[in-house]
Amino acid sequence: MINENTQKLLNSQINKEFFSAYLYLGFANWFGDLGLNGFANWYTIQAQEERDHALLFLEYMQNNGLNIDLEAIEKPVQSFEKSRDILVEGLNHEKFVTDSIHTIYEAALENKDYRTTQFLDWFIKEQGEEEKNADDLIRRWDLFAEDSKALYMLDNELAQRVYAAPDLVLS
């Protein structure tokens, strides 16, 4: 049912999701070094979510009897001039992941692989939320970064974020 091209794209997505986790751990370290522990917490949780996304793709492939080829995870760029640059990189990365998932969806749809399109529906919705959250964080940074008290409050708010595992039933 799942053709070779879709299988390759799914396999590649596992790597992209693990890379995302690695990237966000680097962001968390950057903010932690600055003493912005709320931002560090926010990106640590992002990393956990991305790791779980990779595992969901892996499990989907396993459940469908597909071979999995784990690839090397590229080292992410970790040097930035300003903290805002990290936020922008996060949004750009989410857009990259969205495009990648859309590519898998298009390949599956072209081959009438409705099981895979159904599986990807959750990720498409999730990516919409991820892009909005990343964009909101940039907007809030732009509003509050110049005011130390407001930035302190935003950092405290981000420190309250807790991890919640994805609720997705795989077939």
Locate the domains of the chain by residue range: 4-159
Q: How far apart are CA 59 and CA 68, in angstroms?
A: 10
The token duo for 51 is: 């790791």
What would be the CATH architecture of the domain defined by 4-159?
Up-down Bundle (1.20)
Note the pLDDT of residue 87: 97
Q: How far apart are CA 130 and CA 31, in angstroms?
A: 19
For residues 31 and 43, the answer to whether their CB atoms sit within 8 Å is yes
Calculate the average pLDDT of the chain. 95
Q: How far apart are CA 62 and CA 49, in angstroms?
A: 20
Three-state SS at 141: helix
Note the pLDDT of residue 170: 63
pLDDT band at 129 (very low <50, low <70, confident <90, very high): very high
Predicted confidence (pLDDT) at residue 171 exceeds the cutoff of 60: no
Note the pLDDT of residue 79: 84
pLDDT band at 90 (very low <50, low <70, confident <90, very high): very high
